[in-house]
């Protein structure tokens, strides 16, 4: 596996890969776990070559968030990607991604959907994500890009950006990979101490219990969201938000909604955990 840090070297390497057929891309912030490696395997299933990027993107972190503490494990990540047969790793330093200051950087804004839920709690976050993903797409020029559904809102923001800007890239969403007790895999799980780690699976268990209520005929979405919040807060979380929304728009369900998603974000100690559960309704 070749590793490149500069855009010129990246362009040269991807030109060679593209000549061999369809190229898939998995953007990451590193500190790779089994969830990321599942994205890499899905990318491989759909393409002839796979490019991965590792870049901890300062533009998507708020002033009081964990940018400096975000775990950076490049050597271990490189070995894991090599073992997966990844063709090319792009690991640019900040000055390659952002040669101008962050304030001067042109940004991509995906309106409305970016302001909801996680966007309301983390102003500017999705503009930071859309900007870096747009820039990475321009640099790598993949046929296909793969994202995890754990970041459900992020996946929808990226799909809209691609649609609205007519970007020639197919977006594939991949199901969340979970620990055996149901906790969604995330780099932020390592911020949990032992007692918090024992509580953490209650997040997904509560989503499943809420889905059972819907399957049992529950249709009062605000009441269900309040119930989820109550369950989580009494288990020891500090719920940031819990919503039951249309899976395509992330807005309150309407009579025409046939697919819903429950989205939650909740603090457990220093970790802000997110998770979601999609469901069909008749
Ligand atoms: O999901 C992530 O790891 C990041 O938000 C992404 C898509 C790599 C952009 O920095």
The answer to whether residues 262 and 133 belong to one domain is no
The answer to whether residues 168 and 201 belong to one domain is no
Six-digit token string for 245:
């929304």
Q: Whose CA is nearest to atom 8 of ligand 1?
A: 28
**How far is ligand 1, taken at its centre, from the CA of residue 25, in Å?**
12
The answer to whether residues 243 and 266 belong to one domain is yes
In this structure, are residues 89 and 96 in contact, taking their beta carbons and an 8 Å threshold? no
Q: Is 179 a member of any domain?
A: no
**How far is ligand 1, taken at its centre, from the CA of residue 44, in Å?**
19
Each residue's pLDDT tens digit, 229-268? 999 999 999 999 999 999 999 999 999 999 999 999 999 9
**How far is ligand 1, taken at its centre, from the CA of residue 46, in Å?**
20
Q: Is 141 a member of any domain?
A: yes
CB atoms within 10 A of CB 28: 21
Quick check: 66 pLDDT over 90? no
**Of 36, 46, 117, 125, which one is the catalytic site residue?**
36
42 exposure class (CB count in 10 Å sphere: 0-12, 13-18, 19+): buried
Quick check: 202 pLDDT over 90? yes
Q: Is 22 a member of any domain?
A: yes
173 DSSP β-pair partners: 147
The answer to whether residues 167 and 68 belong to one domain is yes
Six-digit token string for 37:
């490696």
Range of the domain at 215: 187-280
Q: Is 145 a member of any domain?
A: yes
Which whole number is the average pLDDT over 116-129? 98
> Is this model's pTM higher than 0.95 or not?
yes
Pick the closest to residue 90 from 132, 44, 133, 140 (CA basis): 140
CATH number for position 58: 3.40.50.620
The answer to whether residues 78 and 216 belong to one domain is no
The answer to whether residues 159 and 40 belong to one domain is yes
**How far is ligand 1, taken at its centre, from the CA of residue 210, in Å?**
28
Signed CA dihedral, 180, 185, 187, 190: sign only: negative
In this structure, are residues 161 and 167 in contact, taking their beta carbons and an 8 Å threshold? yes
Read off the pLDDT band of 102 (50, 70, 90): very high
The answer to whether residues 13 and 143 belong to one domain is yes
| CA atoms of 217 and 9, how far apart (whole Å) | 56
Which residues 6+ apart lie within 8 Å of 20 measured at CB? 48, 49
- Ligand 1 surroundings by CB, under 6 angstroms: 27-29, 57, 60, 129, 132-133, 151, 154
The answer to whether residues 225 and 147 belong to one domain is no
Active site annotation includes 33: no
Ligand 1: atom nearest CA of 28 is 8
* Strand ranges in 5-71 using DSSP code E only, listed in sequence order: 23-28, 49-54
Q: How many domains does the chain have?
A: 2
CATH number for position 248: 3.30.1300.10
């Amino acid at each position: 596996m070749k590793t490149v840090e500069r855009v010129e070297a990246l362009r040269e390497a991807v030109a060679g890969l593209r000549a061999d057929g369809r190229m898939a891309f998995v953007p990451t912030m590193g500190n790779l776990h089994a969830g990321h490696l599942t994205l890499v395997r899905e990318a491989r299933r759909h393409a002839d070559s796979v490019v991965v990027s590792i870049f901890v993107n300062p533009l998507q972190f708020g002033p009081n968030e964990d940018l400096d503490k975000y775990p950076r494990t490049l050597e271990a990540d490189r070995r894991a990607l090599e073992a997966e047969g990844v063709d090319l790793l792009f690991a640019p330093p900040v000055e390659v991604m952002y040669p101008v200051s962050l304030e001067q950087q042109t940004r991509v804004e995906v309106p409305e959907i970016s302001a909801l839920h996680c966007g309301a709690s983390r102003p500017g976050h999705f503009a930071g994500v859309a900007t870096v993903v747009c820039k990475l797409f321009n640099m790598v020029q993949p046929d296909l890009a793969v994202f995890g559904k754990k970041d459900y809102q992020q996946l929808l923001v990226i799909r809209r950006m691609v649609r609205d800007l007519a970007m020639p890239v197919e977006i594939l969403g991949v199901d969340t990979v979970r620990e055996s007790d149901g906790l969604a895999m995330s780099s932020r799980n390592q911020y949990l101490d032992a007692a918090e780690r024992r509580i953490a699976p209650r997040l997904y268990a509560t989503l499943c219990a809420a889905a059972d209520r819907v399957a049992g005929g529950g249709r009062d979405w605000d009441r269900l969201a309040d119930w989820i919040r109550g369950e989580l807060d009494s288990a020891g979380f500090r719920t940031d938000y819990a919503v039951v929304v249309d899976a395509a728009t992330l807005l309150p369900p309407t009579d025409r909604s046939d697919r819903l998603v429950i989205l939650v974000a909740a603090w457990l100690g220093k970790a802000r955990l997110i998770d979601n559960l999609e469901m069909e309704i008749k």
